[in-house]
Structure 1
């Protein structure tokens, strides 16, 4: 008598099922051309923004001035005035007025100063004097006053140098960090929209193809939801980290920022808020998408969450200009808006540590509530196909 055959297949644990679903989501999306193209576009935009910033910073050209009949005193006066105006100047001596006039006409110099030490000095320019006129006028006036005092026998001593004391020494650093955070929020907003839609589209695809029925034969709805959110979340986090590394490395390589420590801290803050924001919105998008069975109906159910994201982005832009304002302060505590607003306030120095702690706690509480409610809606509506399922029906179906 033979013994009954025993199956060698052991059931998977809940954690293993979640990992299987997560791995499936990662492998599916990482081969998607749209995802790869979108990632490349974001990286190109970050690099392009850095190059643009470098071009702006290096956009100040040297002011070139030709001098006829000058001296070392004239050159020194022009250089001193240029330093006061915070511009670069290049002084070139010319032998006669004709050569200097030709240099101005040919664009070799921005202006030509004739007879600077005489009674009627003259400045030749192509069109409008602008900055050249301001620089030359100040230098000639200073040179004239010094000469008149010297002729009168007045000996001048070097004037005292004014010591500048900044009342807010970190103001420039806060502005720089706020700009970095704002760029990070743009990336964060784009990824939250992108991966929220990935979650929603995946839910509808599974419902419309009836694949979900096969999946739910081997696992619980919450395991499927958790695996989907975890897989796409890890993919999004990886993409965010890659973009952050490229951005930080580029900013340091191009010398765009002056405080690398502050830059890295701001980037880490934005990445951390992405994790919280994704957990919140992925659950909302998944639960909303489970209410419909066709891609055509998807927009109607995810629009409210998308609008909240847009509002958060708009407020974050305003928060960069006024991080301590009422609007920025209040919205930085509102779950769903805080992942976009609070990083900007933190970077700009407008948020105290306890405000950040309160915003994180409120966000975690909201995530727990959304996951619980969204999971029930997801489980109650997942197997209902055909038309749009009402929220209350889906919520009560899982009780």
Structure 2
């Protein structure tokens, strides 16, 4: 086999040339570098503040009866609410007005701790005799931690996908409006140009994701949250894998949508539906982070799987085979999106003037 057949093809060389151009232009942008630095600092500050706050918790709100009031009032860092009976205590628990209730019990301790989802460890440990603990609605993880992890996954996906997806869209329209694309297409096939743009921005997005993962790891180690770090290890890895293919899918659609217009001010008219697909997982995972059904549906929908599946893995609600099945669905969707996106991009790139309709872009 000679060197000509063994080396990379001219097509792949052109693809990487376009990718390098996309990366270089972004790295030369002071706005991009400053915004990335601010994002990393915000992530680190959030983890550090959360870690230090967890070491200085607020007072635990506890419901008590007249029989147990004296026991709880003597404990440090507790706020007591006296109730008449167990029914009133359960009502306060379910409305989340108190975190726990200490009620009379027939066992050796003389009282028991009642909680809704998770018994406050500080309260249980502070009682002189360890009481029986009864959980009304057992939770797989700490509800507050679960909420913050949901915000983390959702926000990182939203910011990275929208930032770099928007970058691709602006780049495509800029090349069309300045007629640079005509020069590029005289030397580079349209699909090669699209592939280079997607690869270049995917590399940038993944670099940002890995930097955030490294920052999170450092922050958790510094604040002594090793248990949280150990439970987040596998979900973060899966998040990176799902984000990689999810972003390629979205990037192809962003480029295709942008190629249908010729002016920067018209970008929103074609990319808004894709932007909504990016925003939906962020909203859903925050609102329904404790809803197993919604999270399960999210973990199998290609656009929300990068957020839904890692979240389910973190809370321990996913079987070992589910990430593999979800990833297979995402890969199939990614292939389909690239095929459709490439066709629209190829057919629309040289069409100037008014916004092109989707049917016309598909027909060519």
Aligned residue number for residue 207 of structure 1: 176
Aligned residue number for residue 112 of structure 1: none
Q: Which runs of 5+ in 1 are unaligned?
A: 1-10, 63-79, 89-158
Aligned residue number for residue 221 of structure 2: 252
1:263–1:293 Cα change, 3 Å = same
Aligned residue number for residue 297 of structure 1: 266
Shift of 1:387: 1.6
Alignment of 1:25-64 (within 5 A): 25-60=22-57
For normalisation by structure 1, the TM-score amounts to 0.68
| Counterpart check, 1:362 vs 2:359 | no
Aligned residue number for residue 82 of structure 2: none
Larger radius of gyration: 1
1:315–1:176 Cα change, 3 Å = same
Q: Which runs of 5+ in 2 are unaligned?
A: 1-7, 60-69, 79-127
Q: Secondary structure at the match of 1:49?
A: helix
**Kept after mapping to 1: 8 A contact 2:150/2:285:** no
Shift of 1:265: 2.0
* Partner Cα distance (1:329, 1:375) in 2: 31
**Kept after mapping to 1: 8 A contact 2:14/2:192:** yes
Alignment of 1:59-138 (within 5 A): 59-60=56-57, 85=75, 87=77
Aligned residue number for residue 372 of structure 1: 339
**Kept after mapping to 1: 8 A contact 2:151/2:282:** no
Shift of 1:273: 1.9
CA distances 1:91-113 after superposition (whole Å, capped 9, x unpaired): xxxxxxxxxxxxxxxxxxxxxxx
1:318 corresponds, among 262, 279, 287, to: 287
Aligned residue number for residue 196 of structure 2: 227
Alignment of 1:172-183 (within 5 A): 172=141, 176=145, 179-180=148-149, 182-183=151-152
Alignment of 1:157-176 (within 5 A): 171-172=140-141, 176=145
| Counterpart check, 1:24 vs 2:27 | no
Q: Secondary structure at the match of 2:301?
A: coil
**Kept after mapping to 1: 8 A contact 2:236/2:310:** no
Shift of 1:244: 1.1
* Partner Cα distance (1:22, 1:297) in 2: 25
For normalisation by structure 2, the TM-score amounts to 0.74
1:61–1:336 Cα change, 3 Å = closer
Residue-pair matches, total: 299
| Counterpart check, 1:389 vs 2:356 | yes
Shift of 1:173: 6.7
Aligned residue number for residue 345 of structure 1: 312
RMSD of equivalent CA atoms? 2.9
Alignment of 1:1-12 (within 5 A): none
Aligned residue number for residue 257 of structure 2: 288
**Kept after mapping to 2: 8 A contact 1:188/1:270:** no
* Partner Cα distance (1:36, 1:178) in 2: 29
Shift of 1:321: 1.9
**Kept after mapping to 2: 8 A contact 1:289/1:301:** yes
Shift of 1:37: 2.0
**Kept after mapping to 2: 8 A contact 1:182/1:320:** no
